[in-house]
Structure 1
């Protein structure tokens, strides 16, 4: 199993300055590289404390690349519906070169109504636009002289520069949350799957659907699944809960605030999202810990929780969200150190 770090900032200038936030996550990234962790992941969001400190994960990962040597870099995720594919593919190959071929690309459909409004992109029809951009990017990472005619953009003899550093281009991943259509389609396209538990009871049926569909369409290769979860490790369970719970509750508060427009928003491309905010508002830190959506405890208890999660979800990697609810600084670094020193050794073969 692979282990790494996953970042999704939920800070504001009142709670943490941007400079302080980036100092903290870059320090964690450097430590992760030195400690032999496999990945650093950063997401893309706009105009809200939920993710708004990182409108450009590729820019952040460029900074990580300049300060590390071995750890792989993954977007988790970029939002292709808000980008032209030539721009996105060119930025990807640039970071792939700067990192000497350590980049992997995660895509997500975007699901926050305020972001669609900001970019004047309709939510209805966004699934088709999402797939069109990814298909074009994937072609330009492998081919030269690409031609594409879509309702959203036109490419004529497009050859992005620089060319990818990795022979077949950076590996591609796609995030999915709750739609069976999304899990099935990711498998049909042959991409890796990124998941983040939503705080409800863990359900492995969608991951199994992905694996089954992948095997049917790509029998000569293996499916890939990685999950991102909040993590706090302390010397005792009581200490870990005392550290984690205020930050988990703030994370839920910020996340539900970003989801508020779904109280009234309806979209044919997002059938199950209307009312999502109301569901998230009912959750507490205790719920996240109880259902396995956050891993909190002593090293021994954390190892047990990881084992149970793996038995249920059967993932290839776990990426630890170490910046939730303004958690960070020395406390987040100490938690990560305890994971590396006392938890990871209980999973043979996990060290890079």
Structure 2
């Protein structure tokens, strides 16, 4: 197993100034590299305290690239539906060169109705815009004189500059929340997966991974290959009571910000998002103690979290774990403690 940090801001101006948040997040990036973590990842979201301080992960990761030399940089994820593919392919290729080939690109469909409304993009176009955008970016990275005739974008002939540092292109990962068919499509195309186990039961995550690996095998690819990223809220302390008390506080804070962001689903429906009409109810009924008991959060002493990770490896196989150290809604020192304790007590067990 490999481990990195996922910087997912869950704060707004009333909680923390944006410049202070970015300073703290970049300090964590530098610490993660010193402690030999595998990657740093960040999101693309807008407007809400749930992720809104990160409208452009490429900008943040460019700053991270300038401060580091080894750690991998992961978009988790960029949204093709909100950016023209020529622009998106160029930004990502430029970042890959600035990082000397340390970029892995996660693509996502997005799922917040208010974001789609702000960009004037219908929710019911989510899947075809995603598929078209990823294909256009991949072609721009790998081909010259590209002529593209899609449903939403038409351009060419275009030869992208700069070319990606990595050849033929950076690794591609696809975010999937609750849809096994998305995992299958990623497997068929040879892409990696971005999953969030906290929003699904263990059996559902196992089904998605199994269908992903089966699709890889059907496509003639190594079923055990493909990078599977699993993101978990993480809070460590040497004192079990302190870890539980503060880990619970910050997890519930994050859940509250998520509830604000998904509230539009109470009156929104889309065939592209089957089952999302239940998301407000599910987020409202989230229970930290149940999540902890089901090993869907990594909260506790280093020894307790190590036991949880061993079970996770048994359930899901070898994977890449992203630790959401919830850096925006707690003091930087507490996030640094979590990262340091993890590096000292847990990383050596999986070396």
Q: Distance in 1 between matches of 2:304 and 2:349?
A: 12
CA contact (8 A) 2:90 2:160 kept: yes
Q: Deviations over 1:131-179 (max 9, x none)?
A: 0010010111111111110120112111111111112211110011111
Aligned to 1:127: 127
Regions of 4+ moved over 4 Å: none
CA contact (8 A) 1:179 1:272 kept: no
CA contact (8 A) 1:177 1:198 kept: no
Aligned to 2:214: 212
Matches within 5 A, 1:167-178: 167-178=167-178
| Cα displacement (A) at 1:293 | 1.7
Look up the SS of the partner of 1:55 in the other structure.
coil
Aligned to 2:253: 250
Q: Count the aligned residue pairs.
A: 348
TM-score by length of 1: 0.96
Matches within 5 A, 1:115-264: 115-203=115-203, 204-219=206-221, 222-264=225-267
Look up the SS of the partner of 1:326 in the other structure.
coil
What RMSD in Å do the two structures reach over aligned CA positions? 1.3
| Cα displacement (A) at 1:279 | 0.9
| Cα displacement (A) at 1:220 | 5.1
CA contact (8 A) 1:234 1:299 kept: yes
Aligned to 2:316: 313
| Cα displacement (A) at 1:324 | 6.0
Q: Distance in 2 between matches of 1:311 and 1:220?
A: 20
Aligned to 1:58: 58
CA contact (8 A) 2:25 2:327 kept: no
Q: Distance in 2 between matches of 1:48 and 1:70?
A: 32
Q: Distance in 2 between matches of 1:125 and 1:108?
A: 14
CA contact (8 A) 1:247 1:324 kept: no
Query: Does 2:325 match 1:322?
Result: yes
CA contact (8 A) 1:299 1:343 kept: yes
| Cα displacement (A) at 1:200 | 4.2
Unaligned runs of 5+ residues in structure 1 are none
CA contact (8 A) 1:8 1:43 kept: yes
CA contact (8 A) 1:227 1:315 kept: no
Look up the SS of the partner of 1:54 in the other structure.
coil
Q: Distance in 1 between matches of 2:97 and 2:226?
A: 26
Aligned to 1:266: 269
| Cα displacement (A) at 1:194 | 0.8
Q: Distance in 2 between matches of 1:218 and 1:194?
A: 21
Aligned to 2:92: 92
| Cα displacement (A) at 1:236 | 2.6
Matches within 5 A, 1:1-150: 1-150=1-150
Look up the SS of the partner of 1:296 in the other structure.
strand
TM-score by length of 2: 0.96
CA contact (8 A) 1:264 1:275 kept: no
Unaligned runs of 5+ residues in structure 2 are none
